[in-house]
Structure 1
Amino acid sequence: MIHEIVRRPQMDDSHLPSDIPPLLKQLFARRGVAAEDCQLTLTRLLRPETMKGLAEAAVILADAIAAEKAILIVGDFDADGATSTSVCMLALAMMGATRVDYLIPNRFDYGYGLSPEIVAVAKEKGAELLITVDNGISSLEGVAAAKAFGMQVVITDHHLPGAELPGADAIVNPNQPGCQFASKSIAGVGVAFYLMSGLRAELRRRDWYRLKGLAEPNLGQLLDIVALGTVADVVSLDANNRILVEAGLQRVRAGRCRVGITALLDVAKRSPERMVAADFGFAVGPRLNAAGRLDEMALGVETLLCEDIMLARRMAAELDGLNAERRELETGMQQEALKRLESLNLGSKGLDEAELPWAIALFQSDWHQGVIGILASRIKDRYHRPVIAFADAGNGEIKGSARSIKGLHMRDLLELINGRHPGLILKFGGHAMAAGLSLKQARFDEFAAAFDKATHELLQPEQLTGQLLSDGELPAELLTLETAELLRGAGPWGQAFEEPLFDGYFTLVQQRLVGERHLKLVLETECGSLMLDGIAFNVDLNLWPDATVRKVRLAYKLDVNEFRGNRSLQLMVEQLQAM
């Protein structure tokens, strides 16, 4: 669909340092950057002391290490879960823990989180202390089962809690009631990193390192993993998250990152020296996630823990293969979903967006559980509606992965439906923009109707029209490689701190397809003073290429194209509209 281009208003940027180039000052001001947030140094990180439950959890962990208890980390099967698990495994080893292992539930056998079934597996492994990472805040039954077995439980999570909290020995989650930690959008890996920082300080107070002959660990060595998990989980890049991500990127660019990350960048054909946050999001993260989507996330964790570059390359190649398989599955599922949506338009020619429901729920019995989240995201992006895609989960149940649009809090929406229709949803959890749930297959139609009805109540019609927020038109003198380099180095850009997007009118000089659906462009500025290269990915082949089109309006980002050692400016076209 063609999105409405809305230009961001001009903002007062006088509070920002005068040595920042004028373009950047305005871009930062439009994104709400305070003067003190221009310096992304680790000294400006929020202090761990303000995170509720962290001090208590650090004491429990320190006692367990001293008593040589068997510690088991229970992670999630996505990139945030894998990075959180890896951070804890590596940090605990640095601090002298001798009995540490991890367990990540297979999504197909156990589902998400600390379930009673996973607790039973943990018991068989001899666990005495469970640490959840990127999960646990909704695991009431799982925590109760662990306590019944005599285990201690420390929960670290960032998901929104329900009305009741689990009865864990300590809960570290900035989104729990009463927590004063200012960054509510921190990823699970960030929470895990903060806990490890608190544990390091607790052991320092006990004089642990001197007594054991250990060097106090430099946890900064783990920031490349923290950055990867933060970007891959698509959390909002507030000031604190930007500091964490920038520190991790600096490690990668300096060649001081984990060999597993180096290997993943290599198979994705990305240069560590020129690494930006988007490379974590679009190159490394999907390959790591592929393990949890199609196989066992343990492969992703082992890649991050690996110390041998040759072994890391073999594991990265396996992850790359899984990601290629995931893309193939996703393509087929997306085509099936679009056919399903077209069937809603009885008698119409093609798909009329006006006839779509306000909220889209889709289910097909042979869809892959590990790919429905990506499918929901793709359909949401295409039609700008909240989407839940479901797959068969066995035993008459289906599992759904939900993606929302701006203005609709997905978890709150599911809670509303759950309150109105008790028993319809078997379980649910998540964030404002993404959530997961399960229900009986026989009640799918009932749920789809309730989903659409509730969305009608919470949204206005104009919210179903997608918008692109633009930073306006760039003058020809700023359409340069130098400007692209300036913007590239001014990140990290990401969720809620969007990379600059510009718009303008151009003459279309040349157009040709490359690959299967990508359109390579040669463009001329309106005044005719400049010729530029551009590329639009995944164009509608029913519309492009079109030799009759001469004038276009573009929404675009500036990018640096590297080819055979040469570097040049390229426009990354987000929207291509014939005029």
Structure 2
Amino acid sequence: MSFVRTISRRECEVGADWPESVPPLLRRVYAARGAHDLQQAQPRLAHLLPPDTLGGLDAATALLADAIVQDRHIVVVGDFDCDGATACAVGVRGLRMLGARHVSYAVPNRMVHGYGLSPALVDELAGLEPALLVTVDHGIACHAGIAAAKARGWQVLVTDHHLPGERLPPADAIVNPNLRGDAFPSKMLAGVGVIFYVLLATRRVLRGSGAWADAGPDLSVLLDLVAVGTVADLVPLDANNRTLVAAGLRRLRAGQGCAGLQALVEVAGREAAALTAADIGYGLAPRINAAGRLEDMALGIECLLSDDPRQARELAEVLNGINAERRGLQQQMVDDAEAVLTRAGIAGDAMPAALCLFDAQWHPGVVGLVASKLKEKTHRPTIAFAPAEPGSELLRGSARSIPGFHIRDALAAVDVAHPGLVEKFGGHAMAAGLALSRAALPEFSAAFRAHAEAALDPALLKSVLLSDGELDVADFCRGTAEALRDGGPWGQGYPEPLFDGVFEVLAWRIVGERHLKFELGRGALRLNAIHFGGWRDQPPPPRLRVAYRLSPDDYRGGQAIQLIVEHCEPL
């Protein structure tokens, strides 16, 4: 693992325009993230950016409004990750709320159809006789599939957030905040956020046509799904995304989420009333994602569309079981990958600027998680490959990156320098996917590593842990822990508060084979702490410098708190 240095955020200018209810510590945390008043720190729905400047809305809303009024068959085409599944559920639920009576959905099976709206999926959809296809969380790279749909006489609306290529697909309308020249201020919308905005704009069009005697349906009831998809896709939580996520969390905490999400909260063992973005990221999203990784994402979408609590609970239990299988498979694959690095002597100064790993026995639905784990461990852009199906010569790769290295642009650069080497690719700055032949893997690996060596400043290969400084003794209390927990939503680009300090190791033990449970001391303080994945096959030293999050300890209850250790180093 790269050396981690801690940079304090503590000394930052804090403005005076704060209500008394916001503790000074939280004000300092907000200021360190660029939020200098309560509106910036905790934006409300009243501050949500309007859809007006989002490009392509006129054509998109015309297609949807006409299909609704004419009672045409609309098929929402989802994707097999959590963003795609929640976007699909938002699209289906929202269109029905707007008056569409003939709405279906479809989702590709990773092993059968490949990614997105492919010609194979279009062939399968022919039996549904759709008039309009609406892609969610994909479509911007689905040239062949959209052309196949158009050849059948269907209309196609693309809603996506992934970066476009040099040319756009032949859709009837495209809504994507990352299109060249699009004036929408927030480029960070997830796929679920894009379809939500399209629904908002469509409601305005239908309202203007006199579709309702009042203002029309309240689409804010969809924000629980928007929050889950936004957090799961790891898009930066700029002010607009924080607005969406915070509103969705409020619904979930109040027990107003859809039946499927409420069931997933229960099977994940989370407390609904104190749900956080981290609970979504580590509890709900993996269970939804598991369906698309190992089975069929239709299971996840059915759970999110169910209004029957009993059915939703049954589906959530199935997803929970699939997720348990996914965890075991993922750990085995990560162990295999780490063993490959060890045998090859790839560590420390011998570590290349980027990693490409392949195993013929790996599952294509889990390689993204493997790439993510190895990226975290090595602090290197990482691509993990697996056969598209057992014995296939086509490989599917999933890429994860580090700050400062745009992974989708890196794949584009390799594609330009080596035409035809990569069969297809897409994604964004921190995550991408690609396909290539097994025979092309050695050449691609060399080209990708060469590009990384040339493009990466060596300083970027040192992982940096940013700290909000040391906590005062008085801050180690339940009130502070709850204020920090509830002060979010925290996430990508707006990190959860992290503190550091020197502690005595008073006691320790191994839990769950890989985790370390501590009792840490600082003066008269005695603090419980846990370091997930922290066991390094040797006892910890008597004194540690620890980077940690302060958290309520709901397991112990009462006024208990604990430190969640993110990193520690001996003194």
- Tell me the residue number matched to 2:154: 151
- Tell me the residue number matched to 1:11: 12
- Tell me the residue number matched to 1:273: 273
Aligned AA (1:358): A
Is residue 84 of structure 2 the alignment partner of residue 81 of structure 1? yes
TM-score normalised by L of structure 1:
0.96
Out of 393, 401, 408, the position equivalent to 1:411 is: 408
Aligned AA (1:389): A
- Tell me the residue number matched to 2:461: 464
Q: How many residues align?
A: 566
- Tell me the residue number matched to 1:390: 385
SS of structure 1 residue aligned to 2:474: helix
Residue pairs, 1:81-480, within 5 angstroms: 81-210=84-213, 216-345=216-345, 352-394=347-389, 395-480=392-477
Is residue 536 of structure 2 the alignment partner of residue 541 of structure 1? yes
SS of structure 2 residue aligned to 1:109: coil
- Tell me the residue number matched to 1:554: 546
After superposition, the Cα gap between the structure-2 partners of 1:207 and 1:223, relative to the gap in structure 1 and judged at 3 Å, is same
2:514 touches 2:535 (CA, 8 Å); kept in 1?
A: yes
Distance 1:354 1:107 in 2: 37
Task: Name whichever of 479-488 and 296-305 sits farther off.
Answer: 479-488
Q: Which runs of 4+ in 1 moved over 3 A?
A: none
Distance 1:569 1:393 in 2: 46
- Tell me the residue number matched to 2:31: 29
Distance 2:148 2:249 in 1: 40
Task: Name whichever of 566-575 and 72-81 sits farther off.
Answer: 566-575
SS of structure 1 residue aligned to 2:554: strand
Distance 1:567 1:518 in 2: 24
Aligned AA (2:282): F
Structure 1, unpaired ranges of 5+: 346-350
> C-alpha root-mean-square deviation of aligned residues, in Å?
1.4
Distance 2:241 2:110 in 1: 28
Out of 36, 59, 62, the position equivalent to 1:59 is: 62
SS of structure 2 residue aligned to 1:369: coil
- Tell me the residue number matched to 1:348: none
> How far does residue 312 in structure 1 lie from its aligned partner after superposition?
0.9
Distance 1:242 1:150 in 2: 40
Aligned AA (1:530): L
SS of structure 2 residue aligned to 1:97: coil
- Tell me the residue number matched to 2:499: 502
SS of structure 1 residue aligned to 2:365: helix
Aligned AA (1:492): P
1:505 touches 1:552 (CA, 8 Å); kept in 2?
A: yes
Task: Name whichever of 74-83 and 38-47 sits farther off.
Answer: 38-47
The Cα offsets for residues 223-243 of structure 1, whole Å up to 9 and x where unpaired, read as 111101111111100000001
Distance 1:461 1:205 in 2: 56
The Cα offsets for residues 9-49 of structure 1, whole Å up to 9 and x where unpaired, read as 62222264253322122111111114341342111000011
1:353 touches 1:383 (CA, 8 Å); kept in 2?
A: no
Identity %: 48
The Cα offsets for residues 85-107 of structure 1, whole Å up to 9 and x where unpaired, read as 00011111112211110110001
Aligned AA (1:384): H
The Cα offsets for residues 164-188 of structure 1, whole Å up to 9 and x where unpaired, read as 1112111110001121111111110
Distance 1:215 1:458 in 2: 52
The Cα offsets for residues 528-555 of structure 1, whole Å up to 9 and x where unpaired, read as 1311111111123323x34xx2111100
Is residue 564 of structure 2 the alignment partner of residue 578 of structure 1? no
> How far does residue 215 in structure 1 lie from its aligned partner after superposition?
8.1
